[in-house]
Amino acid sequence: MIIGPKYKICRRLGDPVFGKCQTGKFAVSAQRKQVKRSRPRSEYGTQLLEKQKVRYTYGLTERMLSNYVKESQTRSGTNPSEKLFNILESRLDNVLYRLGMASSRTFARQIVSHGHVMVNGKALNIPSHRVRKGDIITIRPQSQVNVIFKTLGERLKEFNPPRWLALDTSLFQGTVLEMPGRAEKEGSINLNEIIGFYSRV
């Protein structure tokens, strides 16, 4: 997924969808831009903005997000926006990021694609793989000596994962305790608007 200059994208969306934008300076800049906006967005414009936010936050192509939305709407007995959130959060690259094993979702996709990650003892190289309750995610023992993981142990000592995940810093291992709920929602993304966007196309 080609994304272009990250800071410019954050400014356009008015949301810190990338790590480099999560600063006080950006927050002040975004507030000023919002104040200057003289004309409110249309319903379509708001929905489009939310769609772009979630695409850049989770690193998704248009087709991937569209398929996720369709899946969320076909499950009976569940709220579509809650199901969509569950799908997004349960991606392996996102779980690695939530566990603190990767500094960003982009880096998480790279280490998964390069074969550094195991799920339930088996190596996986598919970032979009969906984890389930009880799954154990580990950095491969052979990879732990790699220079890219040199400081991981120290960083993990001060990291607190969300409550639906457990982290064993000594083993570079995380466990999925339960599937994430909407209480874990990140940032200002409105998933209902995204469902609405795809309902009109």
- Residuewise pLDDT in 10s, the chain (201 residues): 545 576 666 666 666 666 656 665 555 555 555 545 556 778 888 899 999 999 999 999 999 999 999 999 987 777 899 999 999 999 999 999 999 999 999 999 999 999 999 999 999 999 999 999 999 999 999 999 999 999 999 989 889 999 999 999 999 999 999 998 765 555 578 899 999 999 876
Tell me, yes or no, if the two domains 6-87+185-199 and 91-176 fold the same way.
no
The whole-number pLDDT of residue 180 equals 87
Architecture of the domain spanning 91-176: Roll (3.10)
Which two structure tokens, joined as six digits, stand for 137?
Answer: 């995610």
Provide the terminal-to-terminal Cα distance of the chain, rounded to the nearest Å: 22
Q: Phi, psi (5° rounding) for residue 57?
A: -60, -45
The whole-number pLDDT of residue 200 equals 75
Nearest one of 117, 114, 115, 82 to 96, comparing CA atoms:
117
Distances (CA, A) of 28 to 18, 35, 38, 84: 16, 11, 18, 30
* Residue type, position 8, single letter: K
> Do the Cβ atoms of 82 and 71 come closer than 8 Å?
no
Nearest one of 36, 43, 65 to 53, comparing CA atoms:
65
The CATH code belonging to domain 6-87+185-199 is 1.10.1050.10
- Annotated domain spans of the chain: 6-87+185-199, 91-176
The whole-number pLDDT of residue 25 equals 56
Could you write out the DSSP letters of every residue in the chain? -----HHHHHHHHTS--SGGG-SHHHHHHHHHHHHH--SPPPHHHHHHHHHHHHHHHHT--HHHHHHHHHHHHHSTTS-HHHHHHHHHHTBHHHHHHHTTSSSSHHHHHHHHHTT-EEETTEEE--TTPBP-TT-EEEE-TTTTTSGGGTTHHHHHHT----TTEEEETTTTEEEE-S---GGG--TT--HHHHHHHHH--
